[in-house]
A = this chain, B = another copy of it.
Amino acid sequence: MAAEISISRRLRSTPFTQGVTDHGVKSYTVYNNMLLPTVFRSLEEDYWHLCEHVQVWDVSVERQVEINGPDAFNLIQLMTPRDLSKAQVGQCFYVPLCDEDGLLINDPIAIKHSDNLWWLSIADSDVLLWAKGLATGFCLDVKVSEPDVWPLAIQGPKAEELMTRVFGESVRDIRFFRSEMMNYSGTEMLVARSGWSKQGGFEVYVNDAALGSQLWDELFEKGADLNVGPGCPNNIERIESGLMSFGNDMDFKDTPYECDLEKYVSVDADIKSLSIEALRKHNSTRELVGLVLDQEATGLTVIQNDMPIGEIRSQTWSPKYKKQLAFAMLDFAGTEGQTHVLVCTDDGLVKARIAPIPFDFDALEITAHPK
């Protein structure tokens, strides 16, 4: 039997929690000490709805770590091996954060508000505390804080249409991974074209709790004919789309290279980053890869040449492609070039194809099926 979640003040609610409850949330996870909905109707119903319509997501769990002061850029650059020296105001950057050993601390989106003011829109770990520790130890002239900001995502193919009805036609001009300050009910809020799905959409960085519930209601009112629904990051959609989850697919013991994030490591740039030296010397045979199984079967241990070579970290049955899809961290030492592995499942050993992330279904000759 599934266990319930016990809610207390420590698992913070959000300005949208009442709306989420009223819309019949069925389950939650906890992320950055905050409630994150995971299912409304069923994982698969939510999935098809996201692929076809538009959803409003309470992603307040994407906490902002604000770095404010003359040393803001220096601190951010210390934390990430990605060269941010050419960042423009309003631009969003996916940045792995890494320690001196090159190991991942988090993988936030960095948003440059001004030369002296940055936000890190974080995944699930207390980046606030790491940044505070570094700022204190290095005597940096910055204030590190967590502002009262609760991102609300509008995701799905009809997201742009719905957003124009609330924020006006100019939202169409926001490019992918760019943001603009936009007016909502007299208050300026950051609006970015981003979100943790590949169905398109926006994230509104709500900075006023009362306006948050007003915006929530307005989106549902104005989107009724678009079949707007409550939603949340969907495990099926995000695995199909190759979106990795910090804590699930990668963690404190992995490097960006092992997690297919080498393009975010500016290994040749002249930057003052804690991790860059370690990453320049990086050497590992571990790699996060995709696995494709022809049958619906969940497993943990992955076998090659009769030996365990790693573990599955996330997995889902894809209703669209009729395949079991997984992300697995595997050690290919001595087995480079092989194309298949075996997965230990409840049904025994099942053969799986190794595939790059994101999955290239065309190259895999896997065809999408209609609902």
Task: Flag A127-142 by CB within 8 Å of B: 1 or 0 each.
Answer: 1011111111111000
Chain A interface (Cβ < 8 Å from any Cβ of B): 2-6, 8-11, 25-31, 33, 38-39, 99-100, 105, 124-127, 129-139, 146, 235, 245-248, 252, 274, 313-314
Taking CB atoms, residues of chain B closer than 8 Å to A8 are 29, 235, 245, 248, 314
CB <8 Å contact, A9 and B130:
no
Taking CB atoms, residues of chain B closer than 8 Å to A38 are 6
CB <8 Å contact, B6 and A27:
yes
Taking CB atoms, residues of chain B closer than 8 Å to A129 are 105, 125-127, 129-130, 133
CB <8 Å contact, B248 and A124:
no
Take A5-B28, A28-B3 as given contacts and tell me if A136 and B136 are in contact as well, using a CB distance cutoff of 8 Å. no
CB <8 Å contact, A11 and B30:
yes
Q: How far is the CA of A134 from the CA of B314 in the complex (A)?
A: 33
Least CB separation from A25: chain B residue: B3
Q: How far is the CA of A120 from the CA of B271 in the complex (A)?
A: 34
CB <8 Å contact, B29 and A11:
yes
What's the nearest-Cβ distance from chain B to residue A320, in Å?
Answer: 21
CB <8 Å contact, A136 and B29:
no
What's the nearest-Cβ distance from chain B to residue A30, in Å?
Answer: 4
Q: Give me the 3 closest cross-chain CB pairs, A-B, nearest first.
A: A137-B137, A133-B133, A10-B247
CB <8 Å contact, A4 and B29:
no
What's the nearest-Cβ distance from chain B to residue A4, in Å?
Answer: 4
Taking CB atoms, residues of chain B closer than 8 Å to A105 are 129
How many protomers of this protein does the assembly include?
2
Out of B11, B26, B100, B252, name the residue touching A4 (CB < 8 Å). Answer: B26
Least CB separation from A35: chain B residue: B3
What's the nearest-Cβ distance from chain B to residue A102, in Å?
Answer: 13
Taking CB atoms, residues of chain B closer than 8 Å to A11 are 29-30
CB <8 Å contact, B29 and A5:
yes
What's the nearest-Cβ distance from chain B to residue A11, in Å?
Answer: 7
Least CB separation from A9: chain B residue: B248
Give 14 new A-B contacts, CB below 8 A, not counting A3-B27, A6-B38, A11-B29.
A2-B4, A3-B5, A3-B25, A4-B5, A4-B26, A5-B28, A6-B27, A6-B29, A6-B39, A8-B248, A30-B30, A105-B129, A133-B137, A136-B137
Provide a sorted-by-A list of 18 A–B residue pairs whose CB atoms are within 8 angstroms.
A4-B5, A4-B27, A5-B27, A8-B29, A8-B248, A8-B314, A10-B246, A10-B247, A10-B248, A11-B30, A29-B30, A99-B136, A125-B126, A126-B129, A126-B130, A133-B137, A134-B134, A137-B137
CB <8 Å contact, A124 and B27:
no
Q: How far is the CA of A225 from the CA of B27 in the complex (A)?
A: 38
What's the nearest-Cβ distance from chain B to residue A62, in Å?
Answer: 15
Least CB separation from A130: chain B residue: B129
What's the nearest-Cβ distance from chain B to residue A319, in Å?
Answer: 18
Q: How far is the CA of A130 from the CA of B130 in the complex (A)?
A: 5
Q: How far is the CA of A38 from the CA of B5 in the complex (A)?
A: 9
Out of B2, B5, B9, B26, name the residue touching A313 (CB < 8 Å). Answer: B9
